[in-house]
Amino acid sequence: MEEFKLMQITSCEIQNSKYIQIYLTEEEFDKKETKDIIHKYKKKKNSVAIFVTGKENYPEILEKIVAKQVELNKSES
């Protein structure tokens, strides 16, 4: 049975600097797969921000992430 993944990764570029935001649960943060992803972004010299939340708050936080990304995409257009 495959586990449902909640981790979301967003990115943006400001003045030639790339910023990566990773939103995930504590359980996901502890996985080797996640640590490999974080290492990959850091190796590419990206600025990485990690936001850890509990599963019960995740849908609410995800909704805010999506709304903010839509807002940023509109302002770039």
10-52, pLDDT tens digit by residue? Answer: 888 888 889 999 988 888 899 999 999 999 999 999 999 998 8
Q: With 50 as the cut, is the pLDDT of residue 2 above it?
A: no
Are the beta carbons of 29 and 52 closer than 8 angstroms?
yes
Are the beta carbons of 23 and 8 closer than 8 angstroms?
yes
Which pLDDT score is estimated for 38?
92
- The domain locations on the chain are 18-76
Which pLDDT score is estimated for 63?
80
Q: With 60 as the cut, is the pLDDT of residue 9 above it?
A: yes
**pTM score over 0.75:** no
